[in-house]
Amino acid sequence: MFKRLSSILFFLSFSFALQGQITIQSNGNVSVNKTLKVGNPSSSYQQLGVKCGSSCGSSFIKYGIYVTNEDGASQRYGIDSRSLGSGSNYGIRGYAEFGSVNRGIVGAASGSNSYGGYFTNGIYVSGGITQSSDERLKKNIEPLEGVSILSKVLQLNPKKFEFFTKEELKQKGLPSTYSTEGTHFGLIAQELEEVFPELVSNVVHDINQDQSEQLEINSEPTLVTTKAINYQELTVVLLAALQKQQSDLDMLKAEIEALKSQLGIER
């Protein structure tokens, strides 16, 4: 009985000890209650922190790395990756090939205040950006035309501007991710909303994201809403206005030619 009780106590104490983090060193040594680190300093050309393979066997879905991160924190990251140093740095690099469908990186989000991709700086693409536009996906299709479109477009006020610096945005209680250097051209969302409210959306940010290391566990997010413009659909509105303007010009030209003909004026 005493041996059994001792074994149970030893097992419990060992289990509680394992609740700490684990360090796996490059020499194979393992220590408890430290950050997990996996290193491969033996190669000067290529160094791998973690290498995972899922090439063995057959299955419907295979994961190189599968991460679940649930409640118990103010902010949760499935994977937080940072690359710092000289040369080229890539936070996350995705590559896919040899399949009937290949996607280098796939992002999806559900619920309110959700975006499949959220970027704090510009986006560069070498192959262009496409948006779903198949007729089979749409309903309530109507032509975008009429005098009102042109008159509304003429109410827009293009501006040039600069964004506040990160420090200025933080002082104003706004997300510092909007800080971009240089002069920019565009519209003011609040002004556009008065003319084309369909092209303006509200974006909710957690401004605590920039100071996650100073937050207390389970602290509430600090949410701030800013306005954004759908410039991609705005181009369709401008196209409709251009077509309306050209139609008016063609009609005026026809009237002028008719008057010239009546007056016997040659071209």
pLDDT recorded at residue 145: 75
Structure-block tokens of residue 97: 């090939």
pLDDT recorded at residue 231: 95
pLDDT recorded at residue 212: 52
End-to-end CA, the chain: 117
Interacting residues of 24 by C-beta distance below 8 A, sequence separation 6+: 30, 36, 37, 38
pLDDT recorded at residue 36: 53
pLDDT recorded at residue 26: 56
Contacts 24+ apart (CB under 8 A), 75-81: 75/206, 75/208, 75/209, 75/212, 75/215, 75/221
Residue 24, φ and ψ in degrees, nearest 5:
-110, 105
Phi-psi region of 235 (alpha: psi -120 to 50; beta: other; left: phi over 0): alpha
pLDDT recorded at residue 158: 97
- Reduced to 3 states (helix: H, G, I; strand: E, B; else coil), residue 201 is strand
In tens, the pLDDT along 147-174 reads 689 999 999 999 999 999 988 988 898 8
Distance in angstroms (rounded) separating the CA atoms of residues 254 and 11: 95
Domain ranges of the chain: 1-51, 52-263
Query: Which parts of the chain register pLDDT below 50?
Result: 5, 8-20
